[in-house]
């Protein structure tokens, strides 16, 4: 068997185009332009690249990108004051503080200071609780993007066995919650799991979010399974995922490549969440297709 390659780049471009059309409709109806504020503290090169890409995608969707840069020496109080100002600014629908933050700043305190109704990253504990209890809020962008890719290849998710490898607050845990909400039977595998391969071999859907290059090998995969590789690992051989792509694509039914799979979906879902936030704040129903 040779797996179908899930084209995250094309899927993300389609979602971004849909959001841009919906933003134009919202603007025509209400005069409102959604705004996303992105805060970068310090000069971490990878974070700078992410922030630039997010700002470009925001503008391309017809929304306003508001960028704030603080020096690496900024204090927690300075950052919290900026977050408070953005919370109070009616032109700001979404607030994203790029992680990681410099050591002197407590990331949790900053995430908790963001108004949950502007938390388009979905990291605030209120949004984690909403996701766990089935209340509309904001879902973290990477697992949301994974779910959209999974739905494309598996339109009927109820009853399927799903294994999520990794239990971080930003990927693994919300991914497991999303699949549970789709009525999958969900297992979470982590660093203390005994015999991870045995769990993964039972899965119709595998989401790997670990950060170990090529951890998931062909012998872990049930023939025909859908495999979503969230991992981004920089190696001497270039950017690779957590899944051994060459081996696994010989047995899986569908697989995301790295790069070009989950990565582009993350930014597309950020744009989507910002549009949804603007609609909620304006009191209009977001386009249900988005």
Task: List residues near ligand NAP by CB under 6 A.
Answer: 142, 165-168, 170-172, 189-193, 196, 209-212, 230-233, 262-263, 266
Instruction: Single out the catalytic residue among 18, 98, 204, 244.
Output: 98
Query: Among this protein's residues, is 244 annotated catalytic?
Result: no
Residue whose CB is less far from ligand NAP, 85 or 198 = 198
Instruction: Single out the catalytic residue among 93, 121, 204, 242.
Output: 121
C-beta of 80: minimal distance to ligand NAP in Å?
24
Query: Among this protein's residues, is 54 annotated catalytic?
Result: yes
Query: Among this protein's residues, is 222 annotated catalytic?
Result: no
C-beta of 239: minimal distance to ligand NAP in Å?
10
Name the strands in the sheet holding 94-97, side by side, starting at the edge strand that comes first in the sequence: 64-70, 35-41, 94-97
Instruction: Single out the catalytic residue among 18, 54, 118, 204.
Output: 54
d(CA 159, CA 208) in angstroms, rounded, equals 20
Residue whose CB is less far from ligand NAP, 62 or 263 = 263
Residue whose CB is less far from ligand NAP, 74 or 215 = 215
DSSP 17: H
Per DSSP, the residues of 177-191 read: HHHHHTT-EEEEE-T
C-beta of 166: minimal distance to ligand NAP in Å?
4
Residue whose CB is less far from ligand NAP, 226 or 266 = 266
Per DSSP, the residues of 70-138 read: E-TT--HHHHHHHHHHHHH-TT--EEEEPSSPPTTS-HHHHHHHS-GGG-TT--SHHHHHHHHHT----
C-beta of 140: minimal distance to ligand NAP in Å?
9
Nearest to 208 by CA among 250, 157, 171, 161: 171
Q: List residues with catalytic annotation.
A: 54, 98, 121
């Amino acid at each position: 068997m040779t797996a179908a390659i899930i084209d995250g780049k094309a899927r993300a471009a389609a979602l971004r185009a849909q959001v841009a059309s919906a933003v134009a409709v919202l603007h025509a109806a209400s005069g409102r332009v959604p705004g996303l504020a992105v805060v970068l503290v310090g000069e971490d090169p990878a974070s700078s690249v992410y922030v630039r890409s997010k700002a470009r995608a925001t503008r391309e969707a017809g929304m306003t990108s508001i960028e704030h840069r603080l020096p690496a020496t900024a204090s927690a109080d300075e950052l919290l004051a900026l977050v408070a100002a953005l919370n109070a600014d009616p032109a700001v629908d979404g607030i994203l503080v790029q992680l990681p933050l410099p050591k002197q700043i407590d990331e949790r305190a900053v995430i908790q200071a963001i108004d949950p109704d502007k938390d388009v990253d979905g990291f605030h504990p209120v949004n984690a609780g909403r996701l766990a209890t089935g209340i509309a809020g904001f879902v973290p962008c990477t697992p949301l993007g994974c779910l959209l890719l999974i739905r494309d290849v598996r339109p009927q998710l109820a009853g399927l066995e799903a294994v999520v490898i990794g239990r971080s607050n930003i990927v693994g845990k919300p991914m497991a919650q999303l699949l549970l909400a789709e009525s999958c039977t969900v297992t979470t595998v982590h660093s203390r799991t005994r015999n991870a391969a045995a769990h993964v071999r039972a899965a119709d859907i595998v989401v790997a979010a670990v950060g170990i290059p090529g951890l998931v090998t062909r012998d872990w995969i049930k023939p025909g399974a859908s495999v979503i590789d969230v991992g981004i690992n920089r190696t001497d051989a270039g950017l690779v995922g957590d899944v051994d792509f060459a081996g696994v694509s010989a047995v899986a039914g569908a697989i995301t490549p790295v790069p070009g799979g989950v990565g582009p979906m993350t930014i597309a879902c950020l744009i989507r969440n910002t549009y949804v936030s603007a609609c909620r704040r304006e009191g209009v129903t977001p386009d249900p297709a988005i």
